[in-house]
């Protein structure tokens, strides 16, 4: 089985685990076990266990998705190799003047804050381009990010 297939199966198992432990936490025990004695106590144990399992599976699911996305991101699209891309220094593509809506504190003569005003202040919007280059075949992909800041 490929590495990729293995990850997919792990994710499916996590999702099913989360679903089952939710069901376990939300359904009364009597639906599963009609003639058990110490019924209410068993119900509490059952529900606590279900909630704990839910938390564990949700955490594992979140971690898996995070790792899955990272691995997917650093895979080269051209030569299909894993952990192939290396981040290069970002470059400034463009810079433009914009107005930024900001809240500005209103103060009295003693300098105490008496409220806030929303107003437009001059700002700059910069667009950056970060290349990620494959260390095996040299092909690159680019991630574009825009940052808007007030000029203060």
Q: How many residues bind Zn ion (CB under 5 A)?
A: 6
Minimal distance, residue 69 CB to Zn ion, in Å: 19
| DSSP-assigned beta bridge partners for residue 146 | 127
Q: Site map for Zn ion, 64-103, x if CB under 5 A?
A: ------------x-xx------------------------
129 closest CA partner among 108, 149, 147:
147
- Find the part of the chain contacting Zn ion (CB under 5 A) among 13-21, 63-71, 118-126, 130-138: 130-138
Interface characters, 31-50, with Zn ion (x: CB under 5 A): --------------------
- Please report, as ranges, the residues that interact with Zn ion according to CB under 5 A: 76, 78-79, 134, 136-137
């Amino acid at each position: 089985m490929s590495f990729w297939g293995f990850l997919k199966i792990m994710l499916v198992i996590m999702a099913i685990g989360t679903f089952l432990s939710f069901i376990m936490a939300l359904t009364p025990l009597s639906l599963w076990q009609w003639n058990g004695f110490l019924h209410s106590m068993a119900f509490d144990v059952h529900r606590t266990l279900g909630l704990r399992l839910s938390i564990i599976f949700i955490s594992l699911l979140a971690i898996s998705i995070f790792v899955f996305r990272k691995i997917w991101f650093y895979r080269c699209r051209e030569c299909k190799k894993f952990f192939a891309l290396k981040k290069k220094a970002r470059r400034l593509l463009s810079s433009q003047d914009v107005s930024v809506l900001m809240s500005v504190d209103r103060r009295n003569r003693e300098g105490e804050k008496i409220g806030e005003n929303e107003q437009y202040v001059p700002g700059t919007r910069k667009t950056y381009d970060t290349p990620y280059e494959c260390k095996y075949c040299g092909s690159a992909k680019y991630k574009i990010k825009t940052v808007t800041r007030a000029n203060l």
